[in-house]
A and B are shown apart, each in its own frame.
Chain A
Amino acid sequence: MIREIHVFKDGQTLFKDIVVPNNELDTDGVMMLVSTSTKKLQEWTIDSMEIERFRYVYMNSNDTQFILTMDRQSSLQKVEEALMRTVSKFMTAFERDILSDRWTSTDFSPYGVAFRDVVTRMPVKVCLAGHGGTGKTTLLELATMPDQAPPSEYVPTFFADKAFLEGDFAPYVCSIFDLGGQDRFVQEWNKIIRAGSVVVILSDSTEENIEWTKRVAFPALKADLPYARAIAIANKQDLPDALTPEEVSMKLDVPAYGMQANNPEFRGRWLQLLKGLVFETIDFRIVGEIAGVQDYDKLW
């Protein structure tokens, strides 16, 4: 997932677009650091740098520095393609200004449209994780097949399913991976979840599910997606013995949100939550920082 772009020349910002702001690092400081490295690069070579859960991918062209801020685990090859596209689009439009002295007074803002297009082309990978029968497929279909009635019987997902979700996420498009949650499939997750930006952890709001999630799902997720951001879904809130979302939050150490995936009325809420997680406007947790994971690692 592409988060930001910054274009610098001679220490001046020519263009910047921040789709999801970074509230954890001092962006100006980081940019100063990264652009110094960028300046040293040869024309059209790409390099990258990781800081915490972010990856900065950068390139120098015509003495102009282009820096994309990504989620750290985005596939590097795609990011490089995106950066190439970003720079060539920019140069197609502004090369003459850049090569002359005119650039100091050029209005680069029209470039925003082209940049957002590059952002859209790289889907945000969403992983629906959780034990078999917790409602992942139901939740996927709630989002992607609004006209279809919720599945009435439980058909376990074999390996995984996958669907696109466009909608109210512009400039992003979500690529949702619905993982098979039966025990024999969990060991296959590592083949499927790489490069995930966000994880939605499904729970059916029971004690035993919480225990399973901590023991089995967390180690698997932590091994491959330590920098992804996660929320929990306390599903099946209609059932009489369901733990409350607050209880699920506490026990999992991941912010949990109540849900009834088999009830179409919850579609709006679900999409809001997903959007909030992607744009970081709701409370979430970084997978690698979920408490207890290390302890459970040892047990595993």
Chain B
Amino acid sequence: MPEGLAVLKWDNELGPVVTTKTPKKLNRGLDPTTAMRVYGIATMGETEESQRPGFTSLVLDEFKLAVYYGGLNNHLKGHPSMVFLVLELEEDPDVYKDALPEIATQVFLHAEDDEYIDMLPRLYKQIVRYTQMTPEQRQVSILNDPIRRGILRILMRNGTVESSELEQTIFEEVGKEIDADIVLRPLVKAGIIATGWVEGLSSEVIYLTRALFLLRNVSIDTVRAVRSGEIPGEVAGPFLDETKEFHKGYSAGLRADLHETVWREAEELAQHLLDVDSYEILQILREGPRVTSELPKMLDLPEAKVKKKIRELEKADIAVRLKDDSGNEHVLLKSNPKVATVYPEWLIQSTVESYNEEDIPSRQAIHYLEVLKHSHPTVAAAFEVGASD
């Protein structure tokens, strides 16, 4: 368990200044000498051109620090530029190397009007929760953030975009001024995008290497269990009918407009997957149908809470409740939300078209095709095999 979280900025006259921290009594690691040192370590060698945000960890005499630096731009402007997670000596800072960038990014994105100050205690709680997330949930958390959802949307449509243009589009669509570098960093790490410089273009170019979205699948295990007679016939029939009907409509939607269907419900699905209780219920239902009354004990949750969560899942067309003849209520998975990372095959063709029609600079198109070639699943797999030798 970390000891606390703090945000620092660089003040020209004062040096490093703690702008807010949680819990309020946190002092360790925040003395001027340590703070100055951390600024030194994080910024050594960085220039205005090379500036990169990044994660660093430090072991001091009595504690450890996991820090995330927001880049020289934030630093020199005197905006919040460093997020400190103070840890006890026994802890491994690397546990936080995915969670801290996420949290820090939220801080930097909400720097205007000091919005992040009120958010910090909540973000701090999320850090701990984040480390307990499943890989599936981590991917979902990317889709839960309106800005990154917006970025993926743009990239899944266009494949490649200049970062300055992306900043502009995000500003128009989401109403937030972003520093592309800060927001994109975690996506690069997750293997979803790549960045690079193209001669003749003034800002960095972003490329999509894996599309990320949330789909609804038929829950095979549920259907199998239902078919094999695990639940009473008066429930099985209506369930299969309802599920079939639903997926027919859903597939039609995907065929008609994949992007529109996927993005329309990304936010809603993400929220259920990130809710601790809903996610646990989902995990149970993924294994097969259940009688509602069994769940409170399995989950160690009060009955009312379980009911509420199931109703929410039902409203989202994820679960369905049906009563059998003896009055028992059964819960089944109607659709199984699934995060899909997909190689964006379709962008090869459309990039070739943009190249022919000169919609994007030819160098950028060629570079993107190269990137797509290198990130093709067969090539990427070959790399991994090579690396493990």
Contacts and interface: CB of A to CB of B under 8 A. Distances in A.
B75 A177 contact: no
B137 interface: no
Nearest to A160: B36
Contact of A162 (B15, B44, B45, B72): B15
Contact of B32 (A122, A159, A162, A192): A162
A191 B76 contact: yes
B40 A195 contact: no
Nearest to B10: A191
Interface string B308-347: 0000000000000000000000000000000000000000
A195 B33 contact: no
Contact of B13 (A75, A159, A185, A188): A75
B14 interface: yes
B15 A177 contact: yes
A161 B43 contact: no
Interface in B1-33: 12-15, 32-33
A187 B46 CA distance: 10
Contacts of A122: 13
Most buried by A among B12, B15, B33, B41: B12
Interface in B28-83: 32-33, 36-37, 39-41, 43-45, 72, 75-76, 78
Contacts of A163: 32
A160 B16 CA distance: 11
A195 B14 CA distance: 11
Interface string A136-160: 0000000000000000000000111
Interface in B104-125: none
Contacts of B78: 75, 77
- Main secondary structure on B side of the interface with A: helix
Most buried by A among B32, B39, B40, B78: B40
Contacts of A195: 12-13
A162 B36 contact: yes
A161 B72 CA distance: 19
A78 B13 contact: yes
B43 A188 contact: yes
A175 B37 contact: no
Contact of A188 (B12, B32, B44, B76): B44
B44 A123 contact: no
What range describes how many residues of B lie at the interface? 10 to 19
Contacts of A125: 12-13
B37 A159 contact: yes
Nearest to A191: B43
B13 A191 contact: no
Contacts of B72: 191
A194 interface: yes
B77 to A, nearest CB: 9
Interface string A85-103: 0000000000000000000
Contact of B36 (A77, A161, A175): A161
Interface string A162-196: 11000000000001010010001101100110110
A139 B223 CA distance: 78
A191 B39 CA distance: 10
B112 to A, nearest CB: 14
B183 to A, nearest CB: 23
Interface string A56-71: 0000000000000000
A78 B40 CA distance: 24
A194 B76 contact: yes
A191 B75 contact: yes
Contacts of A75: 12-13, 78
Nearest to B40: A159
A188 B36 CA distance: 12
Contacts of A194: 12, 76
Nearest to A76: B12
A175 B40 contact: no
Most buried by B among A77, A78, A159: A159
A159 B12 contact: no
Contacts of A185: 40
B33 A123 contact: no
Nearest to A162: B15
A177 to B, nearest CB: 7
Contact of A123 (B13, B36, B76): B13
Nearest to A180: B40
A78 B13 CA distance: 9
A234 to B, nearest CB: 28
A242 to B, nearest CB: 31
B13 A175 contact: yes
A155 B54 CA distance: 28
B40 A161 contact: no
A192 B12 CA distance: 7
B53 to A, nearest CB: 15
A159 B36 contact: yes
B40 A188 contact: yes
A79 to B, nearest CB: 11
Nearest to A1: B13
Contacts of A187: 45
A159 B43 CA distance: 10
A159 B39 contact: yes
Contacts of A159: 36-37, 39-41, 44
Nearest to A75: B12
A177 B33 CA distance: 12
A158 B37 contact: yes
B189 to A, nearest CB: 25
B113 to A, nearest CB: 15
Interface of A: 75, 77-78, 122-123, 125, 158-163, 175, 177, 180, 184-185, 187-188, 191-192, 194-195
Please give me the 6 A-B residue pairs with the lowest Cβ-Cβ distance, nearest first: A159-B40, A195-B12, A162-B15, A75-B12, A123-B13, A125-B13
12 contacts: A77-B78, A125-B12, A159-B37, A159-B39, A159-B44, A162-B36, A175-B14, A180-B40, A188-B40, A188-B44, A191-B76, A192-B15
Given A158-B37, A162-B14, 7 more contacts: A75-B12, A78-B12, A160-B36, A161-B36, A162-B32, A175-B15, A194-B76
